[in-house]
Chain A
Amino acid sequence: MKLKLILLTICFSITFAVIAQEQKVNVSNVQLFANEVYKSAPEYATTAYLEKYKAKMERIAIVQIAEEKLNNVKFVNLSEVPLMDKYNDNLTHDIAGNFDSSTFNPLKYRFNYNLNYDQYFRVVGTNYFIKLSKIELK
């Protein structure tokens, strides 16, 4: 039992040390974000769909991870995630020059929301990571 407590404490300390702060995506922007992604297909930006998008957005957070801590994180570059650009040709990947954590639109990306582990995507050229929390099974 004592060993378990020690191990738990160590795990928590490592996680806390690697990720200092999590910034949630602003769910109140869901209509704005949907309008941008579903520009030529507004039928997918109606109330019924917004509820689904909100549920996805609630699993997204933006975290900063220091370079020296990167060995502890398995990640994919955000630029490698396909864009949902069928309805808006002008969508582009977030990169160092244009990334703004306060306006980040996760609906632009074809993330896999059906995995049962946390995923990290690095905004190339920054120490910002998009964290997609695992799906919660009942």
Chain B
Amino acid sequence: MTVLSAAPTGWDAEIVVYSGASCASLTNVDCIDNGGSGTAESYQFTPANGTRYYIYVAHYSTSGSSSNTGVVNVGRTCPEVAVAGGQVCSAATPFCSGSYLFPNVTGTTAQSGPDYACLYSQPSPVWYYMEISTAGSMIMNISQSDGSGNGLDVDFALWGPFTNTTTACSQISSGTALPIQSSYSASSVETMAIGATGGSNSICSHGNGQTTPPSAAVGQIYVAMITNYADDPGFITFSQTGGTGAANCAIVVLSSPINFSGEFENNKNVLSWELFGELENITHFNLLSSIDGEKWQLVKKIVQDGTTSNFEVTDERFVKNKINYYKLQSFNKDGVGEESDIISIDNRTEIPTLIKRVNLMGQEVDDQYPGLVIYIYSDGSTVKQINNTK
């Protein structure tokens, strides 16, 4: 999100925002001139990745010339990335209308069982729930776009209200609970509403498309399934455009910016991850490995070019016949780092065999020895066990 503002003293400021490769080929984004002399002007917009913007600030004057000066502020804020919704109702994650990006998914199909109302097809669904924190009506825009800001066809079905997510998903998954609203329109922005009119009957004759459900009460749970008809990678955002109610944003789970995974392939450990969010925010990654999960060493530093979202790195120098642990550090432009969860790849090719059993004094004992016995295996690992045998 970018915010422009100008606070002139004693003169009338105007702002124009353009996009384009150069001054010779500009496209008007918007013009801002809300007041006269001395009025502060501001404009807020979401820029597209990879697009160059030009900002023109002028003094409106009937005399045709001006020597006035002033300060123009350009501020940028980046939304936080929340975890993607679950792919079945029982794995639904919280959402709210705060400034979060929710990653979409691709290439998946919907669970069978629920009634999907207008959604004739349900490609690549993600399930979310919201918990009402302020009673009242809510009008919310659901938008989906790719990393370049191109809108992607998004659809939804909404169920509720429920007292908790377990009950909700039990009733939804069995088809007992029907959607209270849905939309299968071609748009990349859908309106979902409670206590107001939302949904759409476009491409729908099923019913429960466009509806006006009752307003929400505090503590109630609503479950939404959002589908990605375009099946392209991107993000979903929820923005509340009206109503007096609100959903609880404190329960939204923020995501590590990566889907970090690894596997043993062709005698190498192959680590891969995906980057969500504004790609230009991450400057580089450090891939680290360990065989004990405590002492870590750098496998590779990977510089992010601002456009890449899928990464794959091979580690050919992993420790053979051990479990190798990996974690990923990502760093932003301010040098702030974030660590992924630790993953492991089992590179053991031999099943460890028992070498011997010893007691606490290090004396070798047999399997009938009573008390604490230490089992020592061929890979050096040990297991302590209390033997009750007498």
Contact = CB atoms under 8 A, between A and B. Distances in A.
B75 interface: no
Interface string A39-56: 011011000110010000
Given A40-B186, A41-B153, A112-B107, A138 B312 contact: yes
Nearest to A46: B150
Nearest to A136: B310
Interface stretch (B211-219, B225-233, B290-298, B342-350): B225-233
Given A43-B151, A86-B229, A137-B272, A114 B106 contact: yes
B121 interface: yes
A137 B310 contact: yes
Interface in B227-258: 229-233
Contacts of B233: 114
A114 B107 contact: yes
A137 B302 CA distance: 14
A82 B231 CA distance: 12
Nearest to B308: A138
A69 interface: no
A10 interface: no
A71 B206 CA distance: 44
Interface string B62-83: 0000000000000000000000
Contacts of B260: none
Contacts of A112: 106-107, 231
A115 B107 contact: yes
A73 interface: no
B110 to A, nearest CB: 12
A14 interface: no
Given A52-B232, A86-B121, A137 B186 contact: no
Contacts of B308: 138
Contact of A48 (B150, B184, B272, B311): B150
A111 to B, nearest CB: 9
A138 B311 contact: yes
Interface string B276-290: 000000000000000
Contacts, number: 45
B153 A138 contact: no
A12 interface: no
A135 interface: yes
Contact of B153 (A48, A86, A113, A137): A86
B125 interface: no
A40 B151 CA distance: 16
Given A44-B153, A48-B150, A52-B150, A86 B231 contact: no
B372 interface: no
A138 B186 contact: no
Which of A52, A82, A113, A137 has the most chain B CB atoms closer than 10 A to its own CB? Answer: A137
Interface in A2-27: none
Interface of B is mostly: loop
Interface string A101-138: 00000000010111100000000000000000001011
B123 A82 contact: yes
Contacts of A87: 186
Interface residues of A, number: 18
Contacts of B230: 44
Contact of B310 (A41, A43, A44, A138): A138
Contacts of A138: 308, 310-312
A60 B123 CA distance: 21
A117 B272 CA distance: 15
B310 A135 contact: yes
A137 B312 contact: yes
A36 to B, nearest CB: 15
B122 to A, nearest CB: 11
Contacts of B272: 137
A43 B152 CA distance: 10
B29 interface: no
Interface string B295-315: 000000000000010111000
A86 B230 CA distance: 10
Contacts of B120: 86
A52 to B, nearest CB: 7
Interface of B: 106-107, 120-121, 123, 146, 148, 150-151, 153, 184, 186, 203, 229-233, 272, 308, 310-312
Q: Which 10 A-B pairs have the closest CB atoms?
A: A112-B107, A137-B312, A41-B186, A137-B310, A138-B308, A48-B150, A114-B106, A114-B107, A110-B231, A87-B186
Given A43-B186, A114-B107, 20 more contacts: A41-B153, A43-B151, A44-B153, A44-B186, A52-B146, A52-B150, A52-B232, A82-B121, A82-B123, A86-B153, A86-B184, A86-B203, A110-B123, A110-B231, A112-B231, A113-B107, A137-B311, A137-B312, A138-B310, A138-B311
Interface of A: 40-41, 43-44, 48-49, 52, 82, 86-87, 110, 112-115, 135, 137-138
